[in-house]
Amino acid sequence: MSLQSPHTSIRFALAQLDFLVGDIPGNTALMMAQAVHARDELKADAIIFPELSLTGYPPEDLLLRPSLERRVQAAVEQLKTIQGITLVFGLPEQRENGLHNAAWVIRDGQCLARYAKHQLPNHEVFDELRYFVAGTGATVFELHGMRIGLTICEDIWHSGPARAAKEAGAELLININASPFHVGKAAERLGVVGERACELDLPILYCNVVGGQDELVFDGGSFALQASGEVAMQAPLFSAGLHVVDVDVATRHISSSTQARLPDRHESIYQALVLALRDYVTKSGFKGVLLGLSGGIDSALTLAIACDALGASRVRAVMMPYHYTADISRNDAAEQATRLGVHYSSLPIVAMVEAFTNTLSETFAGLGADKTEENLQARSRGVLLMAISNKLGYLVLPTGNKSEMSVGYATLYGDMAGGFAVLKDVPKVEVFELCRWRNAQARAAGEADIVPQRVIDRPPSAELAPDQKDEDSLPPYPALDEILRRYIECDESAHDIIAAGFDAEQVNHVLRLVDISEHKRRQSAVGPRISRRGFGKDRRYPIVNGWKIGD
Amino acid sequence: MSLQSPHTSIRFALAQLDFLVGDIPGNTALMMAQAVHARDELKADAIIFPELSLTGYPPEDLLLRPSLERRVQAAVEQLKTIQGITLVFGLPEQRENGLHNAAWVIRDGQCLARYAKHQLPNHEVFDELRYFVAGTGATVFELHGMRIGLTICEDIWHSGPARAAKEAGAELLININASPFHVGKAAERLGVVGERACELDLPILYCNVVGGQDELVFDGGSFALQASGEVAMQAPLFSAGLHVVDVDVATRHISSSTQARLPDRHESIYQALVLALRDYVTKSGFKGVLLGLSGGIDSALTLAIACDALGASRVRAVMMPYHYTADISRNDAAEQATRLGVHYSSLPIVAMVEAFTNTLSETFAGLGADKTEENLQARSRGVLLMAISNKLGYLVLPTGNKSEMSVGYATLYGDMAGGFAVLKDVPKVEVFELCRWRNAQARAAGEADIVPQRVIDRPPSAELAPDQKDEDSLPPYPALDEILRRYIECDESAHDIIAAGFDAEQVNHVLRLVDISEHKRRQSAVGPRISRRGFGKDRRYPIVNGWKIGD
């Protein structure tokens, strides 16, 4: 057996798993089962788990709970009962100078090595300096004749920690991660880690978490790089699994049969949204999901994603027509629901809107119609959906997109009502692209369009007033989305954006709308982050805010 | 004139001001006007502004905007035009190694000294390591023959920075602050800073911000301490103003005629809520506020605070009765509104609830009544209030308290609808106390009770079902609030709380309710933080969460 004989190669299993944040006993049980599987079925010498695998990532203020240390210690004791395979895993470790984001190596009940993360990210979505003290010094341990260095996630984005491991004698580097997705992130990682491998002449095993956690999507995509930076193994994105690599002890050459294709932009976004929704619903224990299907493209895409995430049997769609709902909208909604096989019903909102309007008639006497009446429609729909949610235990999905969230074209407690906003970080232009991409997939599989073509072709309208079109009061979506991207993701000013060729009046109007809508976003449902800057932990703006757009 | 003659004493004005976050030009103008006033009217030699006075505190991600540096520089140039008085102020300062939370001293167009904060808080409500790099080294400057050291806020809570200033020759220390309120904070500050003064034999001038900013309330309460730690000047809490101290150059003795009384617990909470609401409404530009007045104690207290903050003419109250609304509730609501002189109307919700119920009858066929029907009442009220808000430009105030927020006894998009939740961090028992305190104030002034006594005496009920009482499904409020305080503010476990003598079943029930209500709190309005841990920036819990209560 490999444990006794001299090793010419070492087999590692990279455990790209989906953990439940806070559930230390459950995560420990998952790790133990996978370790036994890796040992017995995959004949692995070692199994590598991601960053903070014991707690899931990010545990946030659960890290402040006094029993954390006791729970982690109990979990480690359990892991130590596993025999015949080396475990590399992540855990919060209390030391004399504070809590560390640590990696441990254990085998046959012994702790072979411990490492504490040096580079604690405290930017974008990360708050690690709220909880952790930075580690110092390299950690290198020996396994079957090979000296192996350890680093954690952000460490590899800097040159110091890997270099320290190399200087301490590492012949191979293991980097464990909880690295969230954004568009293009997988390629970025390969670039950065490849550079590190090259510069240090060090093969690197990169193991990442997979799964959704509130607004964050962890895409997995674990990989192994030769010392040349060449990709030796690429695990798939967005799915859990163990991925095996063999490292030749003498040459340090890595071989693996796992060579997954990296999905393109649209596929990666779509899969990220599916995974995020599935995990949110499943981990929270909802029976299913429920949404208002308007005949428009946002709800059509949300419905498609929900069906792909959960199966049609766990999805309900409700059309809630009013006077301004076009027949074409009713027909398209019904057609899509029928095609996908979801439970579908139609609940007109006329009676509620009338009841509200009558009740308010005296209060509003002498005042003209404005957005109030539109919001009454949206809010009557929100209340209906929430009532069905309360009665049946289905989670309501708001269907608004990032463009609307940005400029505040959404009604608080109306179309914003719900628990998980699938398209919250997806700009409108991307919504169209994703529908086309999903339809192309269906067609390639010989199936009918998932989103009726007419829904894609019609000009977007909120249908809250007669003959209303979104672009009546906003720039065309391609221009709007580019203005928003520059302002929100790139921190460009009105001045910069106008200088790039956009209409000054439109830019000032759009940026002003973004600024005054912060209070709405603050009360919005969480939704999966797919961009470099979403409306979540990575954009922390004051509501009361006297900053003037301009320069 | 004092500038030419040799100084035997130096006069400082501590500028306890209310800034608008992000409004650098506006804050600069305020500082310049106050500097001129201090020089000309108060005959001050120096004026001391609080931490980050130029930007307001906390500027959050506005600090990431590229034009920040340019705007700050322009503001500094303006401040340099002020002649004949020394200005000490706070600003974000870009240096080669990053952005610093800095203090500058300028006089007659010259920068006399610069200091960068050493201790950057990144715990509780603070995120300073997201933005700033820590400074090193002491800063001491000379003014009229006295050597003065500079530190910033959190610095004084540690021994290092003040000691470094002392060792660099400081005879007096200026500490500029943006220190938020919680109950008892003013006394805590005096304790900590007093200890620092004593230990270093150093008189200290402590200048704090005043005002509300989203969830944070800055209480001001600036002070000056003799080298013995004795209080030489105490500015009032919760109000803006300049406060003068004279420091004898030879003896370093501080004299001042400002000796404000520190308010007690109830008064300080009440005033904090009034200031927070006033600033939120005023700085956001709302015409006034609007709330649902139920005849219960939470809305009664919210109404009292709103009137004290804005005046009755800017406050509207709406009673929205249903079948379960007792006559006594209608009468008490009307009586309080009449007493306070606010606009009052009654809008029954029967028609809306019936319209919703009828519309949903087929969907709900065969299913019994549950919380759904209660939520329909709450949500019909929420929609009515939001419609009035939309039409009239009044901000809706949700009236829920911290106890309800904790256990999720509140309806999303129903009674939680609104923009600023005044009682969000006030436990139910404290709600009663505050009503009694406010009534006692009124009686002492020879006025009628602000909150009708019967509202205080009746057992609390949501009146969403026949004969409903809050305590039917929860422990009595004194026990509930203590369980919640231990769990939320002190991180005690179920085990700890039970060991302290509380009923095990109740504790487990309550803690479970807290944990499963995170999704509601995440969509709640912001509200003023008055405790050591509110439901805002200082409690960051995952929504999807597998942590089990227990140990």
Mean pLDDT (chain B) is 96
**For residues A502-514, average pLDDT:** 96
Q: Which residues of chain B have a CB within 8 Å of the CB of A129?
A: 122, 129
CA–CA min distance A385, chain B (Å): 10
Q: What is the pLDDT of residue B224?
A: 98
Q: Let me know if A166 is a catalytic residue.
A: no
pLDDT tens, position by position, A416-444 = 999 999 999 999 999 999 999 999 999 99
Q: Which helix (H) or strand (E) segment is A25 a member of?
A: helix A24-40
Q: For residues B108 and B85, what is the distance between their CA atoms, to the nearest angstrom?
A: 7
Residues B379, A380: C-beta atoms closer than 8 Å: no
Mean pLDDT (chain A) is 96
Residue B472 has pLDDT above 80, yes or no: no
- Residue numbers belonging to the annotated binding site of A for ATP: 292-299, 399
Q: What are phi and psi of B528, to 5 degrees?
A: -65, 135
Q: In chain B, whose CA is at the least distance from the CA of A495?
A: B67
pLDDT tens, position by position, B183-214 = 999 999 999 999 999 999 999 999 999 999 99
Residue B528 has pLDDT above 80, yes or no: yes
Q: What is the pLDDT of residue A551?
A: 80
Which option is the CATH number for A10-259: 3.60.110.10, 3.30.420.10, 1.25.60.10, 3.30.465.10?
3.60.110.10
Q: What is the pLDDT of residue B530?
A: 98
Q: Which residues of chain B have a CB within 8 Å of the CB of A539?
A: 61
Query: In b/e form, how buried is each residue of A335-350, taking b as 16+ CB within 10 angstroms?
Result: bbbebbebbbeebbbe
| Residue B304 DSSP class | H
Q: What is the CA radius of gyration of chain B?
A: 26
Residues B62, A545: C-beta atoms closer than 8 Å: yes
Residue A179 has pLDDT above 60, yes or no: yes
Higher pLDDT, A415 or A467: A415
Q: Is A337:A293 a contact under the CB 8 Å cutoff? A: yes
Residues B547, A65: C-beta atoms closer than 8 Å: yes
Residue ranges covered by each domain of chain B: 10-257, 267-469
Just give the CATH number of A267-470.
Answer: 3.40.50.620
Q: Which residues of chain B have a CB within 8 Å of the CB of A497?
A: none
pLDDT over 90, % of chain A? 95
Question: CB-CB: which of B359, B539, B548 is closest to A61?
Answer: B539
Side-chain-side CA neighbours of residue A216 (13 Å): 26
pLDDT tens, position by position, B21-63 = 999 999 999 999 999 999 999 999 999 999 999 999 999 999 9
Q: Is A208:A241 a contact under the CB 8 Å cutoff? A: no
pLDDT tens, position by position, B121-169 = 999 999 999 999 999 999 999 999 999 999 999 999 999 999 999 999 9
Q: For residues B450 and A292, what is the distance between their CA atoms, to the nearest angstrom?
A: 45
Residue A2 has pLDDT above 60, yes or no: no
Tell me how far the alpha carbon of residue B299 is from its chain's centroid: 20
Q: Minimal CA–CA distance to A357: which of A371, A380, A373?
A: A373
Higher pLDDT, A426 or A461: A426
CA–CA min distance A291, chain B (Å): 14
Residue A502 has pLDDT above 70, yes or no: yes
Residues B384, A359: C-beta atoms closer than 8 Å: yes
CA dihedral of A93, A94, A100, A104, whole degrees rounded to 10: -30
Q: Which residues of chain A have a CB within 8 Å of the CB of B551?
A: 67, 70-71
Q: What is the pLDDT of residue B461?
A: 86
pLDDT tens, position by position, B245-293 = 999 999 999 999 999 999 999 999 999 999 999 999 999 999 999 999 9
pLDDT over 70, % of chain A? 99
Residues of B annotated as catalytic (active site), given as ranges:
51, 117, 153
Q: Let me know if A51 is a catalytic residue.
A: yes
Residue B3 has pLDDT above 60, yes or no: no
Residues A375, B386: C-beta atoms closer than 8 Å: yes
| Joined tokens for residue B381 | 């009220």
Residue A486 has pLDDT above 60, yes or no: yes
Q: Which residues of chain A have a CB within 8 Å of the CB of B545?
A: 21-22, 62
Residues B22, A547: C-beta atoms closer than 8 Å: yes
- Segment among A112-121, A440-449, A454-463 with least mean pLDDT: A454-463
Q: For residues A238 and A18, what is the distance between their CA atoms, to the nearest angstrom?
A: 10
| Joined tokens for residue B294 | 């139920």
Q: In chain B, whose CA is at the least distance from the CA of A539?
A: B61
Question: CB-CB: which of B214, B354, B384 is closest to A544?
Answer: B214
Q: For residues A500 and A483, what is the distance between their CA atoms, to the nearest angstrom?
A: 10
Q: For residues A474 and A470, what is the distance between their CA atoms, to the nearest angstrom?
A: 7
Close Cβ partners of B532 (under 8 Å, ≥ 6 residues apart): B124, B182, B183, B489, B538
Q: Which entry of A117, A283, A402, A428 is annotated as an active-site residue?
A: A117
Q: What is the pLDDT of residue B1?
A: 40
Q: Which residues of chain A have a CB within 8 Å of the CB of B25?
A: 548
Just give the CATH number of B10-257.
Answer: 3.60.110.10
**For residues A210-233, average pLDDT:** 98
Q: For residues B160 and A273, what is the distance between their CA atoms, to the nearest angstrom?
A: 49
Q: Are strands B110-116 and B98-107 parallel, antiparallel or unpaired?
A: antiparallel
Q: What is the pLDDT of residue A119?
A: 98
Q: Which entry of A60, A69, A77, A153 is annotated as an active-site residue?
A: A153
pLDDT category of residue A5 using cuts at 50, 70 and 90 = low
Q: Is residue B231 packed enough to be buried (19+ CB in 10 Å), middle (13-18) or exposed (0-12)?
A: middle
Q: Which residues of chain B have a CB within 8 Å of the CB of A18?
A: none
Which fold, B267-469?
A: Rossmann fold (3.40.50)
Question: CB-CB: which of B24, B375, B523 is closest to A523?
Answer: B523
Question: CB-CB: which of A214, A358, A540 is closest to B60?
Answer: A540
Count CB-CB contacts under 10 A for residue A326.
14
pLDDT tens, position by position, B281-296 = 999 999 999 999 999 9
CA–CA min distance B260, chain A (Å): 29
CA–CA min distance B341, chain A (Å): 18
Query: In b/e form, how buried is each residue of B256-287, taking b as 16+ CB within 10 angstroms?
Result: bebebebbeebbbbbbbbbbbbbbbbbbeebe
Q: What is the pLDDT of residue B5?
A: 58
Residue A1 has pLDDT above 50, yes or no: no
Residues B540, A349: C-beta atoms closer than 8 Å: no
- Residue numbers belonging to the annotated binding site of A: 179, 185, 292-299, 375, 399, 404, 520
Interface size A-B, in CB pairs within 8 Å, comes to: 238
CA–CA min distance A58, chain B (Å): 8
pLDDT tens, position by position, B378-416 = 999 999 999 999 999 999 999 999 999 999 999 999 999
